[in-house]
Structure 1
């Protein structure tokens, strides 16, 4: 059966653990929270041992996973096996292995599959097999018109009373970023003191987090949202931020993507590089989208361009640092915009 992450979580308490679950989609927060609920459900049913496999590229050894399915547990009678499919594509070998697992699921193993993308083209016999004996939950993108309802529901579940104006202020603050919204709501649980929140109080409680902060601006660019990144940069400038104060974070982010791009270019272990770069699971889908947009040499060029912006901002180069940074963000967001960079190669 195909569910939403929310409906999957609500069902867990009232039913036994199923042999297999798949949770996937472009909203990392919803995927992570539903996966956490499945893990907790598995622990309640005695699945104390957990093994994780990252199938992040062609070099993944599906035979190792097959052997794990057949091997007896060393520490627990029951095991939860997690298979992470960032692109939600197991390929022929992986798909056949999943179909075989679903045909005769071992009695002492539950399988949890998570992914960062999903559409009809991702599915096949393997996903149909999962849905037939387990649950398939798809975390669809939350649309702008759905965001107020999502925020209001989450506030209510966390025991925070907020009126419509307060909800709208928070929605504007997080700019559609569910993870940012969840973090702000967690803060409000501590700051609200059980008192109702109106728009004015909401503004004061979250005033320390700038509306157009640099982290969300960079996320927008990496996710291919150039216009949004440009608006956020304009907001930072209007709020009086010093551009040289932003560039440390910009350079750090681009260096991270460049390092990931080098590993991907040589068909290396991207999952290991995510760990080495200390990239949270919730951020990996954003990086993967960015990596699909530009090859490794372009990311090296973007790092150099960010360095040029920094020099201009500090008076050691010519040009308008804000304008050059805006062009860089637009290029990061859209490969067709590369000509915006002076002397850029196509």
Structure 2
């Protein structure tokens, strides 16, 4: 059965786990939350064993997964087996495996397929087989005119009430950033715990931090996610607010060092585990890694060190006159868009 995202939770509460679930979409927050809901339902129904298989590119070992699906569980009577498809495309071998499982599900396995990208072009006989044997849940990007409705539903799910004008103000402040919106709603739920007031515009203004006051975390997310226009806007906002560059550069250097390390790693998943990188952030790093070679990432890390020295007044000869804000913007534009690499030489 094909389900909308808002119906999944109710479906999980009202029935035993289906043999297979496909959670798909480019809205990372919503996909991760839906996958977490399936995992929670599995735990509630006594499934304690979980396997995770990252199936990306040439490293995807569908044969090993096939063997695992048919092997008896070692530690529990039932297990949850996850397949992660960052591109949303299992290929011929993967599509055959998933379709075969749907036709004859293993009695002790619930299969959870999480696809990081999705469109009508991704669908095929394999996803139809999932919908027939289990549930297919797709998340489409939340459009600007849908943000108010999405926020209203999110607020209600946290036990909060707000006027339409207050919801519109919150939508304006988060500026289409779904993760920022979810964080603001969770903060409101914490601040208003036990209160039954209806939030109006004035109260919303008093409680919600203006997301136009961008911080360095959002700046780095914009750069790593390949959003050059957002990078320029955030840099301008930080500069206008009088932020000091040295206070920002620690995080900039740290993030670039992380990406440079991941770029050199032979095993992405193992390196993420070693660096304790959350699953929700791994997709961002993968997108960034696809844009540059390991050598380029090392170069940009060196450039960041140069910006830091300029900002602290310790520039190398010939760079004393460089504007550190301009250099930071150029660096992060290059991170976001390979076409902007030429700016680093300017």
TM over 0.5: yes
**1:179 Cα deviation from its structure 2 partner:** 2.1
Separation (CA, whole Å) in 1 of partners of 2:220 and 2:174: 14
8 Å Cα contact 2:78-2:109 kept in structure 1: yes
8 Å Cα contact 1:57-1:270 kept in structure 2: no
Relative to structure 1, the CA distance from residue 4 to residue 277 in structure 2 (aligned partners, 3 Å threshold; closer, same or farther) is farther
8 Å Cα contact 2:174-2:210 kept in structure 1: no
Equivalent residue, structure 2, for 1:340:
343
Instruction: Give yes or no for the alignment of 1:82 onto 2:82.
Output: yes
For 1:2-81, what aligned pairs fall within 5 Å after superposition? 2-81=2-81
8 Å Cα contact 1:56-1:270 kept in structure 2: no
Equivalent residue, structure 1, for 2:301:
303
Equivalent residue, structure 2, for 1:207:
209
8 Å Cα contact 1:2-1:135 kept in structure 2: yes
8 Å Cα contact 2:20-2:133 kept in structure 1: yes
Equivalent residue, structure 2, for 1:92:
92
Deviation string 1:25-55 (CA, Å, 9 cap, x unpaired) is 1111111111122123333433332222222
Separation (CA, whole Å) in 1 of partners of 2:169 and 2:247: 26
For 1:307-326, what aligned pairs fall within 5 Å after superposition? 307-317=305-315, 318=320, 319-326=322-329
**1:183 Cα deviation from its structure 2 partner:** 1.9
Aligned residue pairs total 339
Relative to structure 1, the CA distance from residue 285 to residue 4 in structure 2 (aligned partners, 3 Å threshold; closer, same or farther) is farther
Segment of structure 1 superposing worse, 125-134 or 144-153: 125-134
The DSSP-based 3-state class of the residue aligned with 1:18 is: coil
Segment of structure 1 superposing worse, 60-69 or 40-49: 40-49
**1:191 Cα deviation from its structure 2 partner:** 1.0
**After the TM superposition, which parts of structure 1 deviate over 6 Å for at least 4 consecutive aligned residues?**
none
Separation (CA, whole Å) in 2 of partners of 1:145 and 1:312: 43
Separation (CA, whole Å) in 2 of partners of 1:273 and 1:122: 29
Equivalent residue, structure 2, for 1:273:
271
| Equivalent in 291, 294, 297 of residue 293 of structure 1 | 291
Q: CA RMSD in A?
A: 2.1
Separation (CA, whole Å) in 2 of partners of 1:128 and 1:291: 32
Separation (CA, whole Å) in 1 of partners of 2:180 and 2:135: 28
8 Å Cα contact 2:79-2:109 kept in structure 1: yes
Equivalent residue, structure 1, for 2:332:
329
Structure 2 unaligned blocks of 5 or more: none
Relative to structure 1, the CA distance from residue 257 to residue 126 in structure 2 (aligned partners, 3 Å threshold; closer, same or farther) is same
Relative to structure 1, the CA distance from residue 164 to residue 214 in structure 2 (aligned partners, 3 Å threshold; closer, same or farther) is farther
Separation (CA, whole Å) in 2 of partners of 1:89 and 1:271: 19
8 Å Cα contact 2:174-2:211 kept in structure 1: no
Separation (CA, whole Å) in 1 of partners of 2:53 and 2:75: 18
**1:57 Cα deviation from its structure 2 partner:** 4.3
TM-score by length of 1: 0.90
Equivalent residue, structure 2, for 1:227:
229
TM-score by length of 2: 0.90
Structure 1 unaligned blocks of 5 or more: none
